[in-house]
Amino acid sequence: MHLLAVGLSLRRVDLGGTRSLAEAVQRIGAAAAAAPPGSWVLGRGWDKHLWAEARWPTRDDLDPVTSGHPAALTSRDGHLLWVNSAALTAAGIGPQTPDPRGGEIVRDASGRPTGLLKEEAKAAVHAVLAHPEPQALRQALEDATAAAHRVGLTGVHDIPDPWPETFTLLQAARRDGALGLRVWMAIPLEYLDHAAGVGLRTGLGDEWLRVGGVKIFADGTLGSQTARMLEPFEGQPANTGIAIHTAEELRALVGRAVAAGLWPVIHAIGDRANREVLDAFALHREGARAAGIRYRIEHVQLLHPADLPRLAALEVIASMQPIHATSDRDIADRYWGTRSRTAYPWRSLAARGTVLAFGSDAPVETMDPWAGIYAAVTRRRPDDPRGAWYPQEALEITEALRAYTVGAAIASGEVHLKGTLSAGRLADFIVLDRDVVTEGARNPEELLQVRVLATVIGGQVVYAAGPLGRMDQPGGAG
């Protein structure tokens, strides 16, 4: 997940769940009217696929309602940025601006930028945005931590934004005894050489805050149709997605990460992106094994059938988000067609011995693990009258729980400390209002009603829904 982004998003325009472009524009206009002069209007969560207009948004939709404020609105998947004319001007983007490597400035028939920026094209706008003030970041951390406690999370694997502010903030919170979650924090690729130069290694830190792997992007996303594909998207014969890094570059980057003692953590969505990442991992397998480095792919959304066995063979951890499958099923069928049979293939991977580590990708999706567990065992949305989507890829509830606990601990190299409630491991646990294993297996709809009564980290209650008796006495909450 993206820890500070969760907290920051609580104070930005929320476009999640909007059912039309007009509704989104209305929310943005209201925020612009209340914004201080000269400030940016920021928000996230829009999804064109849910809109009645079923078209991409443009600057012309924003300009009439933003009153001169520069505006930048991130898509639900985080890989598209919708901006107005003032934001394009601030970023120096015009008709003659070339597309950056690994990105695209969407243009109309005359060559004029439409206000939609794909992948690495977003960087020009991000470069002129002021980072939040330290106090705003600290508040975002506190808000995200409190939200995590309420749904029963005791630790996260954080893909930080911004960096290095995030690491500085987390270190300060750790020093002050105010870090309320255990955090394994990845390093963005642009800091790989800096980290290697000062000797940072994956695993450095303590049981509260550790240096994670180095985050690398291989491609974009399904929703943006920028995932890197072996064959074109359905209905788009010229579109095989965007390669953030070529196959050759991925091989070189994995080699550099392995040499630095940093675990490669690579985002890959499309079947071609996943294949090229696996090829890069295979090339450096012996060096990684000798250094005790584990590989992991983030998302692993679509695999070619021939690549299903390769993750287990290469000991690659599949870091996946079950709720993506149920959120994306309609657009997966639209843009991947029958290839979706091996999309989000949890059962196929698990049956071959692949370690599954489940998460949320919040704020892209809710951080609530019970929504994710429901998706993993049903492969359908709660409000969807249709049956399960490729039900043969569903998991049993115990398998889903294992992926959120033991799998996550393996994925951070901390299975000796966490993942199970057993002697010698950390006393991180939650108290629920029901037996999720028995009741959830009998009726998965029960998972949607789960209530967390208490969240305990290191033996300390950090969240309680109500008064708790002593957990070591008969009749106590335990």
The pLDDT of residue 10:
83
Q: Please list, in sequence order, all residues whose beta carbon lies within 8 angstroms of the beta carbon of residue 170, skipping any fewer than 6 positions away.
A: 141, 179, 183, 185, 209
Model pLDDT, residue 468: 63
Q: Residue ranges per domain, the chain?
A: 7-126, 134-411
**Per-residue pLDDT at 157 exceeds 90:** yes
- Tell me how far apart the alpha carbons of residues 21 and 19 are, in angstroms, rounded to a whole number: 7
DSSP notation for 384-443: --S--SSGGG---HHHHHHHHTHHHHHHTT-TTTSSS--TTS---EEEESS-HHHHHHH-
Strands 264-268, 209-217: pairing is parallel
Percentage of residues of the chain with pLDDT beyond 90: 89
134-411: CATH topology is TIM Barrel (3.20.20)
pLDDT (tens digit, 9 = 90+) per residue, 8-23?
Answer: 888 889 998 899 999 9
Helices 369-378 and 322-336 meet at what angle, rounded to 10? 50
- Beta 103-107 vs 80-83: how paired, if at all? unpaired
Query: In whole numbers, what is the pLDDT of the chain averaged over residues?
Result: 94
In sequence order, what DSSP letters do the residues of 166-187 get, joined into one string? Answer: HHHHHHHHHHTT---SEEEEEE
pLDDT of residue 38: 87
pLDDT of residue 162: 65
Instruction: State the average pLDDT over residues 232-259.
Output: 97
pLDDT bracket for residue 474 (50, 70, 90): very low
- Asked if 7-126 and 134-411 have one fold, the answer is no
pLDDT band at 160 (very low <50, low <70, confident <90, very high): confident
| CATH number corresponding to 7-126 | 3.10.310.70
What pLDDT does 477 receive?
A: 41
